[in-house]
Chains A and B, each alone.
Chain A
Amino acid sequence: GNSVTQMEGPVTLSEEAFLTINCTYTATGYPSLFWYVQYPGEGLQLLLKATKADDKGSNKGFEATYRKETTSFHLEKGSVQVSDSAVYFCALSRQAGTALIFGKGTTLSVSS
């Protein structure tokens, strides 16, 4: 079946450090891939997405590239800030109108 696997957290970094959160997926066909962020006490916000192979999604300094050959969609940021502390969820959708399948989430904690 379709599934998403994320690296286990928590990830603890100092401000301005480089961030990578690994995400791999299993799916039939060509899913769309997403990263969502959940700040403490808040709902889910779309961070970035990619809908086909080799697409790069980017937003707020975060990037992720859809790699079909490695079935991956790793999240990266060159220099994290304290305000980036949140839970990050990788997700996939098989096609428009179908359910999003989420990974377990990775907690990021950034200290100054």
Chain B
Amino acid sequence: EPEVTQTPSHQVTQMGQEVILRCVPISNHLYFYWYRQILGQKVEFLVSFYNNEISEKSEIFDDQFSVERPDGSNFTLKIRSTKLEDSAMYFCASSSDRVPNYGYTFGSGTRLTVV
């Protein structure tokens, strides 16, 4: 079964440093997403990406965040200057646009720890 692959699985970074989280979505999916889950809390939407541009973003996704699809396979989330409160599990997801059978497939996540 096709998978969404995320790397690294765990990253520790110093406060103020830039981090890039990487994802390889399912190859025939058109929509890409980033979500985060602070430990013990709900899964929160950050941003969606379609046709090489952001299609939707939440209030969490401020100027410190950016997304990019640098080539035909990778989808990245960059945090420019990490803060302690950015510590969370970050999930990448992708989806097809084919209603009614579309579904969202999530990667296994990157645990980001900011120290």
Binding site for B on A (CB under 8 A): 32, 34, 36, 42-46, 49, 51-52, 89, 93, 95-105
CB-contact partner of B43 in A42, A89, A97, A98, under 8 A: A89
CB-contact partner of B48 in A52, A99, A102, A105, under 8 A: A99
Contact A42 B108 (CB under 8 A): yes
Contact B42 A103 (CB under 8 A): yes
Contact B45 A96 (CB under 8 A): no
- B103 in contact (CB, < 8 A): yes
B33 CB to closest chain A CB (Å) equals 7
Given contacts A51-B101, A89-B43, contact A97 B95 (CB under 8 A): yes
Q: Hey, what's the 0/1 contact readout for B87-115 against A, CB within 8 Å counting as 1? A: 00001010111111111111111000000
- Report, as a range, how many residues of chain B touch the other chain: 20 to 34
A102 CB to closest chain B CB (Å) equals 4
Of B31, B41, B42, B56, the most chain A CB neighbours within 10 A belong to B42
B18 CB to closest chain A CB (Å) equals 24
10 additional A-B pairs beyond A51-B99, A97-B97, A99-B58, beta carbons within 8 Å, are A34-B103, A42-B108, A43-B106, A43-B108, A46-B106, A96-B31, A96-B99, A97-B48, A97-B55, A104-B41
CB-contact partner of B42 in A34, A52, A98, A105, under 8 A: A105
Given contacts A52-B100, A105-B42, contact A98 B56 (CB under 8 A): yes
A54 CB to closest chain B CB (Å) equals 13
Given contacts A43-B109, A44-B43, A44-B91, contact A95 B99 (CB under 8 A): yes
Contact A46 B42 (CB under 8 A): no
Chosen A-B contacts, 11 in total, with CB atoms closer than 8 Å, are: A34-B103, A44-B91, A44-B106, A45-B106, A49-B103, A96-B96, A96-B98, A99-B33, A100-B104, A104-B42, A105-B42
